[in-house]
A and B are shown apart, each in its own frame.
Chain A
Amino acid sequence: SQQGEEDPQALSIQEGENATMNCSYKTSINNLQWYRQNSGRGLVHLILIRSNEREKHSGRLRVTLDTSKKSSSLLITASRAADTASYFCATSPSVGFQKLVFGTGTRLLVSP
């Protein structure tokens, strides 16, 4: 399977703490995207990082990419109860780059 792996599978933290999720993938990529999914609903696009970028920020989100290790991380700072969701990374391969290959996901629970 070409599916990426995410860890941890589940993460439970208190409001105000930071949450870090990691994603590893197997093939060369054009870009990597992070998504949030609340309770089995549609996916919300969070951020895209290209293969020639190492770090990207958007509000409370920070994404890093290490193509030599084929890995990425998503950091959510000062987490809120509303951040409770599943988070997925998805890679777009270098060839056929419009397809997305999703990771296994991390379930984040932020308690008040």
Chain B
Amino acid sequence: SAVISQKPSRDICQRGTSLTIQCQVDSQVTMMFWYRQQPGQSLTLIATANQGSEATYESGFVIDKFPISRPNLTFSTLTVSNMSPEDSSIYLCSVERASSYEQYFGPGTRLTVT
């Protein structure tokens, strides 16, 4: 499986500010995925990030709110912009292991917005 790290592991932020979450993978991957898990809920896909192209967002998520960068094949960032308490969630990145369809997840970033 891939080794995936995320920074920060947790943060407490003020309403109206922005936070950038980093995801680093120990091997090159074509696609990286960003998910949100609201308190007590399941995971929902935010967007898919390919290197060298704009991210593809799922219904209900927009680039202005969740801009994503994918500068190379091992790294991606997700920014949560103009935060409100409703953005309090765990944000997770994932990658697919080559030729297996198995997706592996990072440890997540627990965000609390006050």
A residues in contact (CB < 8 Å) with B: 3, 30-31, 33, 35, 40-43, 45, 48, 50, 88, 90, 92, 97-105
B residues in contact (CB < 8 Å) with A: 1, 31, 33, 37, 42-45, 48, 90, 92, 94, 96, 100-108, 110
Residues in B whose Cβ lies below 8 Å from that of A99? 33, 45, 48
CB pairs A–B below 8 angstroms (18 shown) = A33-B101, A33-B103, A35-B105, A40-B108, A42-B92, A42-B105, A42-B107, A43-B94, A43-B105, A50-B101, A88-B42, A90-B103, A92-B101, A99-B33, A99-B45, A100-B33, A100-B94, A102-B44
Once the chains bind, are A48 and B102 in contact (CB under 8 Å)? yes
With contacts A42-B108, A99-B33 known, is A31 near B43, CB below 8 A?
no
Residues in B whose Cβ lies below 8 Å from that of A92? 101
With contacts A3-B42, A88-B42, A98-B31 known, is A45 near B101, CB below 8 A?
no
With contacts A41-B107, A42-B107 known, is A98 near B102, CB below 8 A?
no
Chain B proximity of A5: nearest CB distance (Å): 10
Residues in A whose Cβ lies below 8 Å from that of B43? 43, 88, 90, 100, 102
Given contacts A45-B105, A98-B96, 17 further A-B contacts (CB under 8 A): A3-B42, A31-B101, A33-B102, A40-B110, A41-B108, A42-B105, A42-B108, A43-B94, A43-B105, A48-B102, A88-B42, A98-B31, A99-B33, A100-B94, A102-B43, A104-B42, A105-B42
